[in-house]
Amino acid sequence: MSKSPSEHIALITGASAGIGLELTRKLLSEDWQVVALNRSDFPREDASIQNAIQSGALRIYKTEDLADYASLRRALTEIKSRERRIDLLFNNAGGSFPELSYSQQGREKHYELLTVVPYIILMELKELLTLGRLKTVINTSSSAFRSTKSFSVEILEHPKTFRKLIGPYATSKLALSLWTQAIAAQLAKDDIKIRSVDPGANNTLRKGKRSGLPLLVKIIMKLFFSPPTHGADRLYDGALGEHQNKTGVFLVKGRVAELKFQEQARNVLDRIQAIYEQEFLRGNFSS
């Protein structure tokens, strides 16, 4: 693979912290150009990051909240007007919330941010992807849904109960991997490959930020989980490793894994496509 920065451009959402930041560092160290779509700023004390910003190798687009469609639309419009192509799209932004909450569009926020928004970003940037060389999309998923006992679009949008990590967070990540599988054949017509990847157990705790992790998980995370570089390597390998020619698959520890509730994949895709068409494209949201 060429090391020239003019040869490869990656767009990363949630690039300023945790796994996304380490992935940004990794790609920049290999002379990629990185386009970052973030809510928060990059660390000012990181000399390599600041140098990349100054040189233009790292280009930043800000949004107040990825789950706020008006803000997201402004950022995506700016990207489409300024960037010439995207070789590799990492839908990585995410996180977990400590309580049941809803987006400005009225849907459960994990579902909005982790399932619907990555689809919107893909659809809006699809043309830039078709102009790219690698034409690859990596959706950051999770194995947290292994304990999921029931699944439906209705539960995703308006859960009746809330449990940290294994509730809406887990089902939303499952829905992400399901639509990834369902859309693969459609994207293949434009030579675009798409995969979802579990980055594994990473210590992504941040001081002063509330999370949706149970207390026991937080303790285990501090003591035993790998640093975010581990997750960044998983995403990198998911994009450029041995499975780079496969599409629609879910990768766990570098292997293709089966998804639960595969019969629901089309339902999820149809629903988020409807949201995209009826709300995002028509501007049916507060600006």
pLDDT, residue 287, reads 52
Of 11, 50, 60, the C-alpha closest to 32 is: 11
> Distance (Å, rounded) from C-alpha 229 to C-alpha 99?
28
pLDDT digits (tens, 9 = 90+) for 8-23: 999 999 999 999 999 9
CATH superfamily of 9-280: NAD(P)-binding Rossmann-like Domain (3.40.50.720)
Residue 6: Cβ within 10 Å count: 8
- pLDDT bracket for residue 1 (50, 70, 90): very low
Residues 271 and 279: beta-carbon distance below 8 Å: no
pLDDT, residue 131, reads 97
**What's the predicted TM-score (pTM) here?**
0.90
The residues, any chain, with a CB within 8 Å of residue 18's CB and separated by 6 or more, are: 202, 204, 206, 228, 231
Percent of the chain at pLDDT exceeding 70: 88
DSSP 104: T
The residues, any chain, with a CB within 8 Å of residue 281's CB and separated by 6 or more, are: none
Amino acid residing at 175: A
Q: Between these two residues, 202 and 120, which has the higher pLDDT value? A: 120
Read off the pLDDT of each residue in 119-146 and give the average, rounded to a whole number.
96
pLDDT, residue 280, reads 97
> Distance (Å, rounded) from C-alpha 78 to C-alpha 232?
26
Q: What is the CA radius of gyration of the chain?
A: 18
Residues 257 and 219: beta-carbon distance below 8 Å: no
pLDDT, residue 259, reads 96
pLDDT, residue 90, reads 98
The two most distant CA atoms of the chain are separated, in Å, by 51
Residue 74 has pLDDT above 60, yes or no: yes
pLDDT, residue 213, reads 58
How many whole angstroms from its chain centre is CA 103?
17
> Distance (Å, rounded) from C-alpha 286 to C-alpha 68?
9
pLDDT, residue 211, reads 61
Whose tokens are 């960037």? That residue is 83
pLDDT digits (tens, 9 = 90+) for 175-230: 999 999 999 999 999 999 999 999 987 555 455 555 655 665 566 656 556 678 98
Read off the pLDDT of each residue in 33-61 and give the average, rounded to a whole number.
95
Whose tokens are 């233009």? That residue is 56
Q: What is the mean pLDDT of the chain?
A: 90
> Distance (Å, rounded) from C-alpha 75 to C-alpha 72?
5
pLDDT, residue 3, reads 43
The residues, any chain, with a CB within 8 Å of residue 102's CB and separated by 6 or more, are: 108, 109, 112
Read off the pLDDT of each residue in 90-108 and give the average, rounded to a whole number.
89
The mean-pLDDT minimum among 126-140, 198-212, 265-279 falls in: 198-212
pLDDT, residue 141, reads 96
